Amino acid sequence: MSEAVVRGVHINYEVVGSGGPWLALTPGSRRSYAELVPLAETIAQGGFRVLLHDRRNCGASEVAIQDLGSEHEIWADDLRELGAQLGALPLYAGGSSAGARLAILFALRHPESVKGLVLWRVTGGSTAAEELAEMYYGDYIKLAKAGGMEAVCHSEHFRACIAARPANRDNLMRMSPDEFIRIMAMWRQKFLEAANLPIIGATEAQLRSIAVPACLIAGNDRIHPPAVARKVNSLLPSSELHDDVVSKRADEQLLAEWDPKEWKSKEPAMAAIFTGFLRRVEASPSNSVG
């Protein structure tokens, strides 16, 4: 593990692999990058360098609740700065769920810095937007209103952030509950505004504007429905969709939530799909960088 100061915030990161094109992978929700290490190691064996990092407010990185745009926009801009510091740009960007949203926003906000996208469990639909907005933001607003920043520090997520970096408690306690609530409410509103978009975070026009190639693996649950992956695949100008990696389910028979054990068992297949895609893009005559 290493650490970089990215836009004033301490970010915990790791590079897996010693050479080759760069690929940045990000997990879903606000989880630590640790869950992606085995997948990254397999991809790195194929000749790539995989950049993993804990986003601000996640894992062992610094907690910094700031009004700099939506949370995913902040994360996308942080990744661009981290990549620049490491000399990794342009890079391939990818991830699952929230990590996929970050990668897509990275491509939209920093098109000169991205070579391609690898995405799995893409999130979309009103069910996902409403449930996740409450989980990511609404629950913390309630805590701050009821018990101030002390209650926020005792929440499961931020308690883990403090355990990983004790200074995070001071960062949180320095915030006024009103400011914390204001920013969380703003982030929640931006999230809810995406309820009717093809995916949370991007319009049809924005997806059509992404010029780099993409590789998608469809989910099979209500938050990551396969219909959303099919829609994104139809909008991206250069995209391939794999909808048979995890068990295929009809739209009316989706899992209530994603199955971590099923996805873990499919990591060898995912690594093969992604490395094959990356090699094809790297070998393409149109690939003028790298």
The answer to whether residue 260 is domain-embedded is yes
Beta-carbon count within 10 A of 5 CB: 12
The pTM of the full predicted model, rounded to 2 decimals, is 0.95
Same domain, yes or no, for 7 and 61? yes
Contacts of residue 213, defined as CB under 8 A and 6 or more positions apart, other chains included, come to 116, 117, 238, 239, 240, 277, 281, 284
**DSSP character at residue 35:** G
With cut-offs at 50, 70 and 90, classify the pLDDT of residue 290: very low
The answer to whether residue 183 is domain-embedded is yes
pLDDT digits (tens, 9 = 90+) for 58-85: 999 999 999 999 999 999 999 999 999 9
What would the mean pLDDT of 158-177 be, rounded to a whole number?
98
For 61, the enclosing helix (H) or strand (E) is none
pLDDT digits (tens, 9 = 90+) for 105-153: 999 999 999 999 999 999 988 888 889 999 999 999 999 999 999 999 9
pLDDT higher than threshold 60 for residue 289: no
Contacts of residue 132, defined as CB under 8 A and 6 or more positions apart, other chains included, come to 123, 191, 200, 223
Beta-carbon count within 10 A of 164 CB: 15
For residues 288 and 36, the model is more confident at 36
pLDDT digits (tens, 9 = 90+) for 32-50: 999 999 999 999 999 999 9
Domain span holding position 149: 129-191
- What total number of domains does the chain contain? 2
pLDDT higher than threshold 70 for residue 168: yes
Same domain, yes or no, for 59 and 155? no
Same domain, yes or no, for 47 and 183? no
With cut-offs at 50, 70 and 90, classify the pLDDT of residue 154: very high
Residue with tokens 């000749």: 47
pLDDT higher than threshold 90 for residue 56: yes
User: What integer pLDDT is reported at residue 287 of this predicted model?
Assistant: 67
Same domain, yes or no, for 22 and 100? yes
The answer to whether residue 275 is domain-embedded is yes
pLDDT digits (tens, 9 = 90+) for 190-239: 999 877 788 888 899 999 999 999 999 999 999 999 999 999 999 999 99
User: What integer pLDDT is reported at residue 124 of this predicted model?
Assistant: 87
Same domain, yes or no, for 54 and 149? no
User: What integer pLDDT is reported at residue 16 of this predicted model?
Assistant: 98
Domain boundary among 142, 161, 191: 191
Same domain, yes or no, for 148 and 16? no
Both tokens assigned to 99: 């990590």
User: What integer pLDDT is reported at residue 200 of this predicted model?
Assistant: 82
Domain boundary among 191, 215, 233: 191
3-state class of 222 per DSSP? Answer: coil
CATH code at position 268 = 3.40.50.1820
Same domain, yes or no, for 165 and 70? no
Contact, 34 vs 136, CB < 8 A?
no
pLDDT digits (tens, 9 = 90+) for 246-272: 999 998 999 999 999 999 999 999 999
pLDDT higher than threshold 70 for residue 288: no
Contacts of residue 27, defined as CB under 8 A and 6 or more positions apart, other chains included, come to 33, 35, 36, 95, 96, 97, 98, 99
The answer to whether residue 290 is domain-embedded is no
